Amino acid sequence: MKKLVILFLIVSALNVNAQDFLTQKGMKLEISGFVRNDFIFDTHENVDACDHLLDIFPKKPVYDSNGEDILAHPSAHFLNIFTRFGTRFSGLEMLNAQVSAYVEVDFTGGTATNSLRFRHAYTLFEWEKTKMLFGRTWHPTFIEKVFPSTLHENTGLPFQVFNRSPQLRVTHQLGDHLDLIAAAVYQFKYSNTGPNGKSYEYQRNALIPNLHAQLQYYDANWVLGAAFDWKMLQPRTSTTGTQGTFKTSEKFGSYAIIAYLKYTQNKFQLKAKTMLGQNVCESLLPSGYAVASVDEATGAETYTPFNHTYNWINFTYGGAWKVGMYAGYLKNLGTSEDPVGPLYGFYPDIDWIYKLSPQLIYTYKNFMFGWEISLTTAAYGDNNLSDKAKVIDTVEVTNFRNMLSIAYKF
């Protein structure tokens, strides 16, 4: 009993000191997140991540001796790894700015990946008309004010950017309803593919960050915006040819052009986005680049990016009961120049993909129940190197996903 009393006094003293520290500093702590469980049924094996929770598109068919697709078989699983926790610290004032920090993790892992996934970690400075963020968060091409309202954790893949990267981002208010957004981004986990596989070394060796500029208009009903994104990669530091091995610093640039909108009126909301992107496979989108030429003597290479269009539209209507529809389409336009190979990237042999995904969601205070089905079809083929690596001789493969979710938000 005496030991319990002593322990209680020690804990109480520590608690008083902690509260006094927070009061003196004026710091505030907010915790948010949700506990979620998902039941998922698929009719085909998928290119996916996070123990099949995050499906992207159906895998390329693999045929048996009878000509049947071995991967076209049903599967079901029950997951609670989408559970998430976020912590925001605020209350500090520095350089006439309000300073806050945010850290977020979830548990989308387990049998195939780490059981704890690091999502966001950034510090935010806020002045009257300017915000400066540095740290890891959504890539500026994600467009945090305009992304699909899907029940699925992939938020619209493979037509919508999915990428969280370290960055310095400045948002400046040009007028009452107009923002200029500029960012410098470096790759880390979400990175391009090249001669050494998937790695952020190609951008690191190029030195120059991924640069982004965006104009965004917003009012009570509308969000409208346009963005330009540019990056530089250096795939190799040395090459080998018939005359030996030589140091190289050959680089190549690629870009993405984006336009988007959101319209909200009472219980109705409409969102849409289109992007012309070169070599944007770091955002889990089918894309990449190819070797355009090779010097036989030195092995020196030049490169050409794949060009794709990515398009989606999404609407929702309702309050406690909400219905919605998400539709997406992407198209492989081939490389900018005729390549000689090899091809690097994320499934550059897909010609096109489309998805249709209706949903029904019920919300009561902190509780949510949702049902979403999705039909995704991809056309695989061969890259014709004599015609800018455009995909020919395609075969279509489809997956049907049925998903039920229950979540408690806090």
CA 372 to chain CA mean position, Å: 20
Is the residue at 4 inside a domain? no
pLDDT tens digits, 64-114: 999 999 999 999 999 887 789 999 999 999 889 999 999 999 887 556 555
Is the residue at 340 inside a domain? yes
Is the residue at 368 inside a domain? yes
pLDDT at res. 181: 98
Is the residue at 168 inside a domain? yes
DSSP count for the chain of H helices, then E strands: 2, 25
pLDDT tens digits, 1-35: 444 333 333 334 444 444 433 333 578 999 999 99
Closest CA to 284 of 34, 46, 25: 46
Is the residue at 189 inside a domain? yes
- The CATH number of whichever domain residue 388 belongs to comes to 2.40.160.10
pLDDT at res. 114: 55
Distance (Å, whole) CA 142 – CA 155: 10
Closest CA to 83 of 103, 115, 106, 102: 106
Closest CA to 214 of 204, 205, 225: 225
Is the residue at 160 inside a domain? yes
Distance (Å, whole) CA 12 – CA 7: 9
Is the residue at 349 inside a domain? yes
pLDDT at res. 389: 98
CB atoms closer than 10 angstroms to residue 386: 8
Which residue positions in the chain have pLDDT lower than 50?
Answer: 1-24
**Total number of domains in the chain:** 1
Distance (Å, whole) CA 354 – CA 326: 11
Global pTM?
0.90
Is the residue at 249 inside a domain? yes
The torsion defined by the Cα of 119, 377, 72 and 36, in degrees rounded to 10, comes to 30
Considering only CA atoms, give the Rg of the chain: 24
Q: Give residue 196's domain range.
A: 29-409
